[in-house]
Structure 1
Amino acid sequence: MESIIILIFVIGYLSITLEHPLKLDKTVPALIMSALIWAVLAIGFHKGWFNVIDTYENSFSFLDGGTEAEHGFENTLLHHLGKTAEILIFLIGAMTIVEIIDLHRGFEVLKSAVKTKSKRRLLWIIGILAFILSAIIDNLTATIVLITLLRKLIPDKQTRLWYAAMVVIAANAGGAWSPIGDVTTTMLWIAKKVTAGGLIEFVIIPSVVCFALPFLIASYMKPFRGHLVTEELNEDEEAGRLLSSKTMLFLGLGMIVSVPVFKTLTHLPPYVGMMLALGVVWLVSEYIHPEEDFSKERRHLYSAHKALSRIEISSILFFLGILMAVAGLESLVYGVSSEGDPVGTLRYLAEVLQAAIPNQDVVVILLGIFSAIIDNVPLVAASIGMYDSPTDSVLWHFIAYSAGTGGSMLIIGSAAGVAAMGMEKIDFIWYLKKIAWLAFVGFIAGAGVFLLIERVLFAH
């Protein structure tokens, strides 16, 4: 009977990865898969077909435990829903703050930083902006902001494609070393697998290598030689900014960055800090005057209510579906461990992988490569259920790096890539031919540097 649950997951997973050919939003199979897995799990549990296991390694059998086992099942479901909700509330808060900044045209301020006509220099400026911004506001949002900026700077579509593709590499590399830079690092951080300090300390140098090497190679390639006609920042564009643009940009980014600090000081989960950050930004946005003659009638144009209506709820629901589906797999008892204790499906898979590929580093590099083909969110969610290494262990840092940067190898391998593909209509095959090898070189070089630092220089 266990095979039914695994089959539901496999079919759902395939539907998610084939969302473009199927022309079906990946949220749909994620939600259906999640509900069906828990439905079959509940029916099978009450019929005595299989047992469930919670995150504390307690196994429950309805036939043996009766009401107590029933409570165990309910608590396991509630625990997983609570952990998933922590991630969702965090993401809703971050997305809303970014939308409030955008409503106040805060990102227009970044345009003034780009005043070069050299293609090579522009490549590095855009790359460094993507790397830093993605660590602060997440790689998806940073990509959207920078491609919007590129549209204003580079009129030629073919030239812009190259820059947009390079932004994907830089944004994914920048998101990998920050607890708020990528959904997967946020998941690891909220699950207490990594700390903000540990992630920055051990993953930032490999991430810089992963970003800098492809950019160094690309800066000698034909598309980035010579000069281009950039549109100068004239008075009209200056006037396009609002009185509140600078204030809301720095306040919004500052409040997002304050979340890890809040967690360190209070030891509360990150979503509480994000709730405070959103509250402060929302409060200021209610009273700030974006225009000289600001009237009540125009207040709704810059309100947090409008920002909330612009956030992508389908993404939030996708994470809900996929994380709860993975939680269902994690809760299903599937065989016993090498010590003879009952284990969940994912932990059992980890033991099988360990036996087949004894080197854990090779497994994590493969996970990075697979994250380019299939979504990295369920891959990381599964790895959290598979391994029980301590906080800030080499394994979790390497998973954060691999899952964050590996997706750059294909345009569909990351949220940043999908956003760039949608905005600039980047062709899958074009990216595969022109950019994939650059992303691979960066990924492998960064992985090598990571292993050198963690396994050789600071072996622990």
Structure 2
Amino acid sequence: MESIIILIFVIGYLSITLEHPLKLDKTVPALIMAALIWAVLAVGFHAGWFDIINTEEQAFNFLSGGEAAEEGFNGTLLHHLGKTAEILIFLIGAMTIVEIIDLHRGFEVLKGAVKTKSKRKLLWIIGILAFILSAIIDNLTATIVLVTLLRKLIHRREDRLWFAAMVVIAANAGGAWSPIGDVTTTMLWIANKVTAMGLIEFVVIPSVVCFALPFLVASYMKPFQGNIEVHAEEDLEAEKLLSSRTMLFLGLGMIVSVPVFKTITHLPPYMGMMLALGVVWLVSEYIHPEEDFTKERRHLYSAHKALSRIEISSILFFLGILMAVAGLESLVYGVVHGEEVGTLRYLAEALQGAIPRESEIWFFLGEDLVVMLLGILSAIIDNVPLVAASIGMYDSPTDSVLWHFIAYSAGTGGSMLIIGSAAGVAAMGMERIDFIWYLKKIAWLAFLGFAAGAIVFLIIERVIFHHA
């Protein structure tokens, strides 16, 4: 019966990865997959076909456990829903703040700062902006902002495609070292697998290498030679509002304050994000974006409008995929070292068992090889379920090398294909970037950065600091 649950997951997963050929929003299979997995789990558990395991490694059998086992099943479901809700509330808060900034045209302040005609200089300016912004407002939002900026600066689509593709590499690299820079790092942070300072300390240098090396190589390539005409300078200045600068710095400042709030209070990150959203919302209610500001125009800049612009389908996708992975984690699949373990833990043991422990590869790399494989897979398969699976697969302590390397690999590995990350999918949709064009022109640059950053990470963690 376990195979039915795995089959549901595989079919759902394939439907998500093939959303473009199927012309089906990936939220649909994610929600159906999660509901069916838990439905089969519930029916099978009560029929005695299989056992359930919670996050504290306690296994429950309905036939022998009775009422206590029933409570264990319900408790496991509620625990996973609670952990998923933490991530979703956090994301809703962050997305709303970014939309409020955008309504007040705060990002025009950044756009007005780009004043160069050199393609090479523009490449580095855009790249550095993407790298820094993605760490603050997340890689998806940073990509949307910068592709919008590129449309105003570069009028030839053929030229713009190259810059947009490079933004994906920089944004994913920038998001990997920040607890709020990527959905996957946010998941690891909320699950208490990494701390904000631990992530920054050990992942920032590999991320810089992952971003800088492809950009250094690209700056000598033909598409980034010569000059462009920057026509939009005057327009950009004219588009700013009285509130643009205030809302930009307030919004970004409040998002950055979330890790500080968690460190001081030891409360979950979503509580800090709720406070941040409340403060930004409060200021947006009283600030005057225009000289002759009237009540009739207030709705144009309100938080209610910002909330209406949030992609709720993305939130529901994360709900579906995370609850589906939680279902797999909760299903007892086999026995390892005399203990019953869930599907994902069993998979982790099988993966590591596939590499002979007597071999030189295991001696030098071991778990790191599995994590690098996870990074490469994240280019093909969505990195959210991969990281959700890894959280269920391993029980290493907070801020261990394993979690830092997973944060780096899952965050940056997705750059190798245009469909491998949220940032890539956003750029693909906005600029109609062709999958094959990206594979031929950009994938090798992304792989170069990923591999170089991974080597630097392992040198820092394993050789310099001798972390186990």
TM-score by length of 1: 0.99
User: 1:136 is matched with which residue?
Assistant: 136
- 1:94–1:274 contact (8 Å) kept in structure 2: yes
User: Take 1:84 and 1:375, find their aligned partners in 2: how far apart are those partners?
Assistant: 17
User: Take 2:147 and 2:41, find their aligned partners in 1: how far apart are those partners?
Assistant: 44
User: Take 2:295 and 2:131, find their aligned partners in 1: how far apart are those partners?
Assistant: 39
Residue identity (%): 86
User: Take 1:229 and 1:309, find their aligned partners in 2: how far apart are those partners?
Assistant: 36
User: 1:93 is matched with which residue?
Assistant: 93
Give the letter for the 2:191 counterpart.
Answer: A
> 3-state DSSP class of the match of 1:57?
coil
User: Take 1:79 and 1:232, find their aligned partners in 2: how far apart are those partners?
Assistant: 51
Give the letter for the 1:395 counterpart.
Answer: L
User: 2:439 is matched with which residue?
Assistant: 432
User: 2:226 is matched with which residue?
Assistant: 226
User: Take 2:167 and 2:223, find their aligned partners in 1: how far apart are those partners?
Assistant: 15
* 1:288-299 pair list within 5 angstroms: 288-299=287-298
Dislocated runs of 4+, deviation >4 Å: none
* 1:61-100 pair list within 5 angstroms: 61-100=61-100
1:238 lines up with 2:237 in the alignment: yes
Q: Deviations over 1:44-91 (max 9, x none)?
A: 000011110000011111001101100000000000000000000000
- 2:111–2:236 contact (8 Å) kept in structure 1: no
- 1:38–1:328 contact (8 Å) kept in structure 2: yes
* 1:14-413 pair list within 5 angstroms: 14-234=14-234, 236-338=235-337, 340-357=338-355, 358=362, 359-413=366-420
User: Take 1:239 and 1:318, find their aligned partners in 2: how far apart are those partners?
Assistant: 38
Give the letter for the 1:344 counterpart.
Answer: G
User: Take 2:300 and 2:113, find their aligned partners in 1: how far apart are those partners?
Assistant: 27
> 3-state DSSP class of the match of 1:334?
strand
User: Take 1:230 and 1:352, find their aligned partners in 2: how far apart are those partners?
Assistant: 55
Q: Deviations over 1:391-450 (max 9, x none)?
A: 000000000000000000000000000000000000101000000000000000000000
Q: Displacement of 1:330 after TM fit?
A: 0.3
Q: Displacement of 1:232 after TM fit?
A: 4.8
Q: Displacement of 1:239 after TM fit?
A: 2.4
User: Take 2:457 and 2:333, find their aligned partners in 1: how far apart are those partners?
Assistant: 34
- 2:112–2:236 contact (8 Å) kept in structure 1: no
Q: Displacement of 1:240 after TM fit?
A: 1.3
TM-score by length of 2: 0.97
- 2:418–2:428 contact (8 Å) kept in structure 1: yes
Q: Displacement of 1:238 after TM fit?
A: 1.8
- 2:137–2:181 contact (8 Å) kept in structure 1: yes
- 2:152–2:232 contact (8 Å) kept in structure 1: no
Q: Displacement of 1:237 after TM fit?
A: 3.3
User: Take 2:441 and 2:270, find their aligned partners in 1: how far apart are those partners?
Assistant: 39
> 3-state DSSP class of the match of 2:113?
coil
User: Take 1:385 and 1:246, find their aligned partners in 2: how far apart are those partners?
Assistant: 43
Gaps (5+ residues) in structure 2?
356-361
Aligned residues: 458
- 2:112–2:237 contact (8 Å) kept in structure 1: no
- 2:174–2:207 contact (8 Å) kept in structure 1: yes
Pick from 444, 450, 457: which aligns with 2:457?
450
How much is the aligned-residue C-alpha RMSD, in angstroms? 0.6
Answer with 237-246 or 300-309: which moved more: 237-246
User: Take 2:437 and 2:57, find their aligned partners in 1: how far apart are those partners?
Assistant: 48
Give the letter for the 1:63 counterpart.
Answer: L
User: Take 1:111 and 1:238, find their aligned partners in 2: how far apart are those partners?
Assistant: 9
User: 1:416 is matched with which residue?
Assistant: 423
Give the letter for the 1:39 counterpart.
Answer: A
- 1:115–1:232 contact (8 Å) kept in structure 2: no
> 3-state DSSP class of the match of 2:233?
coil
User: Take 2:321 and 2:69, find their aligned partners in 1: how far apart are those partners?
Assistant: 26
Give the letter for the 1:423 counterpart.
Answer: M
